[in-house]
């Protein structure tokens, strides 16, 4: 049994961490951190935890928290974790950061896209990018994990096998992605009001979305060179889910069986990546509430391009579930502990 603390426990990703960890047999939640709700009962913020959690929300004192727990989850805005982390804290506890503070290895790229100064660049190189299916062995040895973004998790895992095996030209990749409104967080914003979102669909962050360099960096590692791609996110009127559809030019003529064999090579033994049957397209409703990533592809011989598709729950595999998967690896637990969640429907 280990003790965990969550800073940012009253955001959507933070509350999803609480939901998952309550059912984790190796974990005790010792700290429900929330700057906005200090001394309020956690179950008064999220009534679904009534009679399940009696604890009150505490502050975000990472120095004190590090003395009490084995791992800290920071489900906080960009810049927060980097502003507090130090060697004393890392000598006492492990950290899984759900923000972008340590995902991008080039500090100048981070500062350019996020428009803030990085407060602890000395830890960027050490931080492990926590995409378990790709960096599993490095995660096991880490004391600081950068939990990937939701759009990036879906986009990278959808494209990774074909980029890694060189079947596609990586500089031709175009990613069109759609997300439910929970991806924007719990803060009140006019753009996320019901009347703004309902019966509407829109692109945003066109050519400027902050997940772009993260996707480029990780797929660049896969193909062994820097690449540039187009990534366009869209907001859709649903609570949860991400659907990514990626397009790329094939380097040579391939059959369905050849491409399927490539996906199977990387994902046959992955519990949480499901390569669907031929001609079955991923749908967000079939992964909702789960840690699964559903992927598939379609070859278009007319244009010599391939369409790659992926679907995840942005709050589970795109945030909290992936963070717990990383924690399991870091502490030697069964990787799927607490995460064997059957997708919810309807």
What amino acid positions are annotated as catalytic residues? Answer: 150
**Residues 77 and 190 sit within 8 Å (Cβ to Cβ):** no
Residue whose C-alpha is closest to residue 242's, from 324, 301, 325, 322: 322
- Dihedral of the CA atoms 327, 310, 101, 217 (nearest 10)? 120
For residue 294, what are the β-bridge partners? 274, 311
Question: How many Å apart are CA 176 and CA 212, to the nearest integer?
Answer: 12
Question: How many Å apart are CA 76 and CA 74, to the nearest integer?
Answer: 5
Question: How many Å apart are CA 246 and CA 307, to the nearest integer?
Answer: 6
According to DSSP, residue 333 is labeled -
DSSP states of 165-195: TT-B-GGG-EEEEEE-GGGG-SS--GGGSHH
Residue whose C-alpha is closest to residue 242's, from 307, 317, 188: 317
Question: How many Å apart are CA 259 and CA 239, to the nearest integer?
Answer: 33
Q: Which two tokens stand for residue 19?
A: 């939901």
């Amino acid at each position: 049994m280990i003790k965990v603390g969550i800073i940012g426990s009253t955001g959507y990703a933070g509350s999803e961490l609480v939901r998952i960890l309550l059912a984790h047999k190796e974990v005790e939640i010792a700290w429900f951190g929330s700057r906005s709700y200090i001394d309020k009962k956690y179950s008064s913020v999220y009534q679904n935890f009534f009679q399940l959690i009696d604890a009150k929300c505490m502050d975000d004192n990472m120095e004190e928290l590090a003395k009490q727990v084995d791992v800290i989850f920071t489900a906080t805005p960009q810049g927060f974790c980097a502003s507090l982390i130090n060697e004393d804290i890392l000598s006492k506890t492990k950290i899984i950061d759900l923000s972008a503070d340590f995902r991008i290895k080039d500090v100048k790229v981070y500062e350019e896209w996020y428009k803030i100064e990085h407060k602890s660049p000395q830890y960027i190189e050490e931080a492990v990018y926590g995409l378990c299916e790709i960096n599993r062995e490095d995660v096991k040895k880490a004391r600081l994990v950068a939990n990937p973004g939701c759009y990036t998790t879906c986009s990278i895992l959808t494209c990774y096998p074909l980029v890694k095996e060189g079947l596609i030209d990586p500089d031709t990749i175009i990613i069109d992605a759609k997300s439910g409104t929970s991806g924007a967080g719990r803060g009140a914003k006019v753009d996320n009001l019901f009347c703004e979102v309902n019966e509407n669909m829109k692109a945003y962050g066109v050519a400027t979305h902050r997940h772009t360099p993260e996707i480029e960096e990780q797929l660049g590692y896969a193909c062994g060179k820097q690449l540039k791609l187009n990534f366009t996110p869209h907001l859709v009127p649903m609570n949860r889910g991400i659907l990514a559809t990626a397009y790329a030019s094939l380097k040579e003529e391939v059959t369905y069986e050849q491409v399927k064999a490539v996906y199977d090579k990387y994902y046959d033994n992955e519990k949480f990546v499901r390569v669907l049957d031929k001609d079955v397209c991923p749908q967000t409703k079939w992964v909702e509430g789960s840690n699964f990533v559903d992927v598939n592809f379609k070859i278009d011989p007319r244009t010599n391009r391939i369409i790659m598709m992926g679907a995840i729950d942005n709050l589970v595999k795109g945030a909290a579930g992936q963070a717990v998967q990383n924690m399991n690896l870091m502490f030697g637990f069964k990787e799927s502990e607490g995460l064997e969640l059957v997708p919810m429907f309807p």
